[in-house]
Amino acid sequence: MPYDEKLAERVRAALGPVRSVAEIKMFGGLCYTVRGNMAVGVHKDDLIVRMAHDEGEAALSEPHARAFDLTGRPMKGFLFVAPEGVRTAGMLKRWINRGVGYASTLPPKKAKAKTPRKRKSG
């Protein structure tokens, strides 16, 4: 299961009025960016939230939050929120607002130019 489609729909609905949001595939799931900066995402059945490093560290003490770790090395400023932590619309919106709030403080990212892939001969 790459990501929970129902959670992705809930996130889309909650982000509806936010301007400059794009949805991209990342981390084996979906990520929602604000002006090119990741704000929140969905990985399996967890919500991913991006925050300032110090806020992310403090948020780890909150119920249902844990370090964002896909490789054995947790990423600072990112965390997972378990399904129990986004059970209601209000709970989900609170986490989304934190991610969008942080991403909105970052300078816009320029779109990366795609490099053409070489074709295999043969």
Q: Which of 61, 60, 78, 62 is nearest to 70 (CA)?
A: 78
Binned at pLDDT 50, 70 and 90, residue 19 comes out as: confident
DSSP reduced 3-state for 41: strand
Residue 122 pLDDT greater than 70, yes or no: no
| Mean pLDDT of the region 12-38 | 89
**Model-level pTM?**
0.86
Q: Which pLDDT value is given to residue 97?
A: 96
Domain-wise residue ranges, the chain: 5-105
Q: Which pLDDT value is given to residue 26?
A: 85
Residue 120 pLDDT greater than 90, yes or no: no
According to DSSP, residue 119 is labeled: P
Q: 25 to each of 30, 36, 40, 65, 90, how far by Cα in Å?
A: 5, 13, 12, 22, 25
Q: Which pLDDT value is given to residue 118?
A: 65
Residue 16 pLDDT greater than 60, yes or no: yes
How many angstroms separate the CA atoms of 113 and 84, rounded?
39
pLDDT for 32-68, tens place per residue? 999 999 999 999 999 999 999 999 999 999 999 999 9
- The domain made up of 5-105 is a member of CATH 3.30.70.20: no
pLDDT for 76-111, tens place per residue? 999 999 999 999 999 999 999 999 999 999 999 876
